[in-house]
Amino acid sequence: MRKQDITIYDVAREAKVSMATVSRVVNGNTNVRKDTRDRVMKVINRLHYQPNAVAQGLASKRTTTVGLIVPDLTNLYFAELSKGIDDIALLYKYNIIITSIENRLMREDQAIQGLLNKQVDGVIYMSDTLPEEAVEAFKRTDTPVVLAGTKDSHSEFPSVAIDYKKADTEALNLLYNDGRKNLALVIGNPDTVVNVQNRIPAYKKFMADHNLGEGHIYSNVKDHSDGYNLLSQLDHDGVDGVIVTRDVTAVGILNSAIDAGKKVPEELEIITASATQIASVVRPALTAIRQPLYDIGAVAMRMLTKLMNNEEVPETQIELPYEILKKQSTTNE
Amino acid sequence: MRKQDITIYDVAREAKVSMATVSRVVNGNTNVRKDTRDRVMKVINRLHYQPNAVAQGLASKRTTTVGLIVPDLTNLYFAELSKGIDDIALLYKYNIIITSIENRLMREDQAIQGLLNKQVDGVIYMSDTLPEEAVEAFKRTDTPVVLAGTKDSHSEFPSVAIDYKKADTEALNLLYNDGRKNLALVIGNPDTVVNVQNRIPAYKKFMADHNLGEGHIYSNVKDHSDGYNLLSQLDHDGVDGVIVTRDVTAVGILNSAIDAGKKVPEELEIITASATQIASVVRPALTAIRQPLYDIGAVAMRMLTKLMNNEEVPETQIELPYEILKKQSTTNE
DNA sequence: TTAAAAAGTGCAAACGTTTACAACTATTCT
DNA sequence: AGAATAGTTGTAAACGTTTGCACTTTTTAA
């Protein structure tokens, strides 16, 4: 098939050793005499021998490949996570098979099964929702899995994320201290673990603790135009401070406000709960919970390397520090 | 290794056929009697048999995997290209191994070699620069390659892109017709094929054709902050209309102008030569050459599937239509 | 100097499929 | 009915590595 198809066998013949020895030098096994190693290396270089990773995978049962399951590549939240993953993967010489699952044709469990069939050594799962079939698919295998930037409801799987509850509470407090009393929460899918177990309870608790009434939770507000269209509702409900999970959604609200002549932050304060490039590039720039997305990805991948090597991983539920980045969409005292 | 490790052999035994027959039904070969096919399928379902893709890859020499080489996942230009690629790949049941090469540790030719070692059936290359070693690496193999959103200098490789020269000329013309005479071009790497062979010549020709003098080409302006810092230079040079290759760079210039109290588009018109989400989300929204990024990716991947199947591909240098999207960063007549 | 231990090497059997090819069975045609 | 043909199935050799085991050589220790 390949124009140049040098196998380990060719190298063995030329170097007058067995293929086992060639394999050993290729894999850096120390049990090879210096001069035979040199001899083999010389042949390898001369013939431009490159091991066939598929054959290696079959024989060794390790493919040095990890699977990524991600909802949407063009969502910078996931792109930035992926970058952290990718850099660490490179460091440890793993390749990445990426599977995006927003597409109707691809269900979570199919994505997982596809990766397992490819014999990936591990999987990083980034979707904010982990359906039962996906859990089942993972459980049917020994392949380690790490969740990045999300959590599962029972903490069955290792995960790397932030303390969403604490972060949201802190953000709400910032609005509250700015004198805002009619606080709202804008989320996408209301059924995700993070929303159900963290954001919504944190919001409700905060509202209750401060006697602010029921408040307003707006669900299924997922993109720029959803955010744009939400403004009239916010106006109607008299909201003066809002936390928005996705930053492009927040930008939608922001732009809608600008276009309607409504002042941000004077009349409406906006905080986004996940800051990507976009949050800092719009004007007024968005105050945000800055999640360390790159680091979350990197730490998740690092943890996965340990799991793949059966190394000890003392803590599998990791929460990384976040910070509240005050910008122009909230009042600067 | 796997908890559950059912092989084709187990299925064969249970169904009382040979592994060859099982293989045939798995691969949809028609030369199997209906009732044996049913019998085998029943066993496959009962045992939850899933073929080992690595073994398939070794035996068949096809991995149904394609490699993507991309500079930066968090650059939406590439993310949107990738999405088009991904969707078509899913349709044709290919997996995607993604390799990002911005990292210092990973050179283009190493990335390519890595993918070839994994026996990918094809490669899509998206970097705007194609070093000589990368060309060599590609030439050493029969694995088909398609360039997406970029071109090589000698049109040696199949590619899918737009007519950059025409698009830029049209954009310059828009500025010119708005009465702007001091036009500038802002690019990133000045050595890319697209810049050297298309954008720069188009700019120079336009300036010459309209007797606008030498003009100003600003190179190595690559991100938001580069753009932000460039504004003073633009001011100094009296530029009143500018084409910027990357949209976040354009946004940098835009934000710098806003912060400096300079009016856009009244005092400075800005057009970006590649529009992602970001161009439409900032205010004033950026007038842009809208490249059909998703489609470029999709068409590139579709072409690759044909090349991988040794099908006839009549035209391998494809240019897709673009449009000039007039927004708020240029005057609306 | 010699026995024991360590280091270096080769043999051959995996790994889990695909796929010529051969062989057998059922069908069609005359 | 018999021959030719088409359809169905099995056998076994790939595919290109890794790796346990046995064997040989070298080193170490007494």
Interface of B with A in 219-278 (CB under 8 A): 224, 248, 251, 255, 258, 277-278
On whether residue B249 sits in a domain, the answer given is yes
Domain assignment present for residue A60? The answer is: no
Asked if strand D contacts A35 at the CB level, meaning under 7 A, the answer is: no
Q: What band does A238 get if pLDDT is binned at 50, 70 and 90?
A: very high
For A:119-148, CB contacts with B below 8 A are 119, 140-143
Low-confidence residues in chain B, pLDDT < 70: 1-4, 332-333
Residues B303 and B189 in one domain: no
Which of A117, A251, A281 lies closest to B50 in CB terms?
A117
> What is the H or E stretch that residue B324 is in?
strand B323-325
Under an 8 A CB cutoff, do B95 and A73 touch? Answer: no
In the sheet that holds B269-272, the strands lie side by side as: B216-218, B183-186, B241-244, B269-272, B287-290, B323-325
Asked whether the predicted pLDDT for residue A203 surpasses 80, the reply is yes
**A218 and A188 housed in the same domain:** yes
Q: Collapsing DSSP states into helix, strand and coil, what is residue B122?
A: strand
B116 vs A68: CA distance, rounded Å: 20
Q: Are residues B156 and B176 in the same domain?
A: no
What's the domain count of chain A?
3
Q: Residue A108 corresponds to which tokens in the numbers above?
A: 């979570």
Nearest residue to A146 (alpha-carbon basis) of A66, A204, A49? A66
Mutate to test the interface with B, among A49, A65, A76 (most CBs of B within 10 A): A76
* Residue reference for tokens 């993310």: B79
Same domain, yes or no: B221 and B297:
no
| CATH number of the domain encompassing residue B26 | 1.10.260.40
The answer to whether residue A2 is domain-embedded is: no
Of the candidates B50, B97, B277, the beta carbon closest to that of A96 is on B97
What pLDDT is recorded for position A1? 41
Residue A105 touches partner B, C-beta closer than 8 Å = yes
B54 touches chain A (CB under 8 A): yes
Both B209 and B261 in one domain: the answer is: yes
Asked if A124 and A266 sit in the same domain, the reply is: no
Q: Which residue of A has its CA nearest to B83?
A: A73
CB of B71 less than 8 A from some CB of A = no
Does residue A67 have a pLDDT over 80? yes
Domain assignment of residue B332, yes or no = no
Residue of B nearest to A251 (CA): B281
Q: Is residue A333 part of a domain?
A: no
- Report how far residue B89's alpha carbon sits from residue B124's, in angstroms, rounded to the nearest whole number: 11
Judge whether B83 is closer than 8 Å to chain A, CB to CB.
yes
pLDDT tens across A99-152, in order? 999 877 778 999 999 999 999 999 999 999 999 999 999 998 999 999 999 999
The enclosing domain of A122 has a CATH number of: 3.40.50.2300
Q: Which residue is nearest to nucleotide D8 (CA to C1')?
A: B32
Q: Which of the nucleotides lies closest to A18 (Cα–C1')?
A: C10
pTM over 0.85: yes
The domain containing residue B75 runs over which residues? Answer: 65-162+293-322
Query: Residue A256 and residue B3: Cα distance in Å, rounded?
Result: 53
What is the reported pLDDT for A5? 84
- Closest to A289 in 3D by CA, of A193, A226, A199, A197: A199
Helices (H), chain B: 8-15, 19-26, 34-47, 53-60, 76-91, 108-117, 132-139, 164-177, 193, 200-209, 224-236, 247-259, 277-281, 293-308
The answer to whether A284 faces chain B, any CB pair under 8 Å, is: no
Q: Do both A107 and A138 map to the same domain?
A: yes
A155 and A142 in a single domain? The answer is: yes
Nucleotide whose C1' lies closest to the alpha carbon of residue B60:
C18
Return the structure tokens found at B187.
């690019």
**Cβ A2–B141 below 8 Å, yes or no?**
yes
Residue A128's contacts (CB-CB under 8 Å, 6 or more residues apart) are A71, A150, A188, A189, A192, A193, A194, A195
For A164-186, the DSSP string reads HHHHHHHHHHHHHHTT--SEEEE
Q: Which nucleotides of C are covered by protein (CB under 7 A)?
A: 7-12, 14-20
Instruction: Please compute the mean of the pLDDT values over residues A153-158 and round it to a whole number.
Output: 95
Residues B260 and B183 in one domain: yes
Does B25 fall in a domain? Answer: yes
Instruction: Considering only the beta carbons, identify the residue of A3, A100, A283 that sits closest to B140.
Output: A3
B100–chain A Cβ distance below 8 A for any pair: yes
> For residue A37, is pLDDT > 50?
yes
Q: What is the pLDDT of residue A14?
A: 94
